[in-house]
Amino acid sequence: MRNNSEHDPMRTVPYRIRRVRRDTADTFTLELEPVTNQQPFHFAPGQFNMIYVFGVGEIPISISGDPAVTSALVHTTRSVGTVTKAMSQLKRGDVVGVRGPFGTPWPILAAEGNDVVLVAGGIGLAPLRPALYAILARRERYGKVVLLYGARSPEDILYRDELRHWRAQFDLDVYVTVDRATSQWRGNVGVVTTLTSRAPFDPLNTMAFVCGPEVMMRLTALELQRRGVAADQIFVSMERNMKCAVGFCGHCQFGPMFVCRDGPVFPYSRVKDWLGVWEI
């Protein structure tokens, strides 16, 4: 992975905000370009950057753009606390610091020849979007490709236009469900696990990429296994607070692993004993 922090992962590089898009009431997407003339930014789907909001703090955010586009960096963020709220106030032209990319990617190449099921919960669609771009770019190498996406309510649905576009594609099955709906909503209601039992894929020949809050990933993995997908064919992306992002500080420890160095993408079989354990 060649990038501008290849030799010094601790070096923060300034990026200017080229575009801000408000996706939902609490999520926004920033498109960043290097302030000085930099090398193209290469990353693999599933990787993340450490984003520094100057004077506030540094947080891990997955890259949510197309890996084939190396001129801009795209990050979709939900504001939950100090740094993300400050980040949501930034405007076009403001500058943030970027370190990365870090972490293990989704096994896009290993999935070739298989059906691929991407299961996203809430903001978890952001880290999966690059995987979908990469798969669609080489669509012929995969069997069925299915996207299952669950959001809290119709207003919380991310990337609406793109979902509409993906849904219209013949070679991609897109299912969206919401947890809470008024009677105006004509789509599915129920958490995303209810979709896994109905989606059209061959469980014995499927790789599943799952991203969302831990409870959602755990329940989804159980449902996928119930349908016959093996635990080592299911991949999840873990979240833990981070500081160094390079395996030094121990902040992101998850059982015997460090999420920044050994993850965030893990085979479910490797983390299943730790998911659902309190206080690790």
Partner 1 sequence: METLERILSEHPFLKGLAPEYIQLIVGCAANVRFEAGQFIFREGEEANQFYVIRQGRVALSMFTPERGPIVIETLGEGDILGWSWLVPPYHWRFNAQAMELTRAIALDGKCLRGKCESDHDLGFELLKRFAHIIEQRLQATRLQLLDVYGARS
Ligand X SMILES: Cc1cc2nc3c(=O)[nH]c(=O)nc-3n(C[C@H](O)[C@H](O)[C@H](O)COP(=O)(O)OP(=O)(O)OC[C@H]3O[C@@H](n4cnc5c(N)ncnc54)[C@H](O)[C@@H]3O)c2cc1C
H helices within the chain, ranges in order?
82-88, 125-137, 160-167, 193-196, 214-227, 259-262, 268-271
Dihedrals φ, ψ of 225, to 5°? Answer: -65, -40
Query: What pairs with residue 19 in β-bridges?
Result: 31
From candidates 212, 238, 257, 268, binder to partner 1 by CB under 8 A: 212
Is 264 a binding residue for partner 1 by CB under 8 A? The answer is no
Judged by beta carbon distances under 5 to 8 A according to partner kind, the member of partner 1, ligand FES, ligand X, none in contact with residue 156 is: partner 1
CA distance 183 to 192: 19
- Which CB sits closer to ligand FES, 85 or 261? 261
Buried b (16+ CB within 10 A) or exposed e, 144-173: bbbbbbbbeebebbbbeeebeebeeeeebb
Specify whether the CB–CB gap between 16 and 232 falls below 8 A.
no
Min dist. Cβ of residue 126 to ligand X (A): 4
How many CB atoms are located within 10 Å of the residue 236 CB? Answer: 27
- Residues 210-269 close enough to bind ligand FES by CB under 6 A: 242-245, 247-252, 258, 260
* Interface contacts to ligand X, rule CB under 6 A: 48, 57, 59-62, 76-78, 80-85, 123, 126-127, 239-240, 242, 264
H helices within 125-229, ranges in order?
125-137, 160-167, 193-196, 214-227
Q: Smallest Cα–Cα separation from 101: which of 53, 56, 65?
A: 65
- Residues 48-107 close enough to bind partner 1 by CB under 8 A: 80
Judged by beta carbon distances under 5 to 8 A according to partner kind, the member of ligand X, partner 1, ligand FES, none in contact with residue 127 is: ligand X
Stretch that binds partner 1, among 54-62, 136-144, 164-172, 206-214 (CB under 8 A): 206-214
- Which CB sits closer to partner 1, 109 or 215? 215
Specify whether the CB–CB gap between 106 and 145 falls below 8 A.
no
- Which CB sits closer to ligand X, 96 or 199? 96
Is 198 a binding residue for partner 1 by CB under 8 A? The answer is yes
- Which CB sits closer to ligand X, 87 or 146? 87
> Where does this chain bind partner 1 (CB under 8 A)?
80, 121-123, 150-152, 156, 177, 179-183, 185-191, 193-194, 198, 212-216, 219, 239
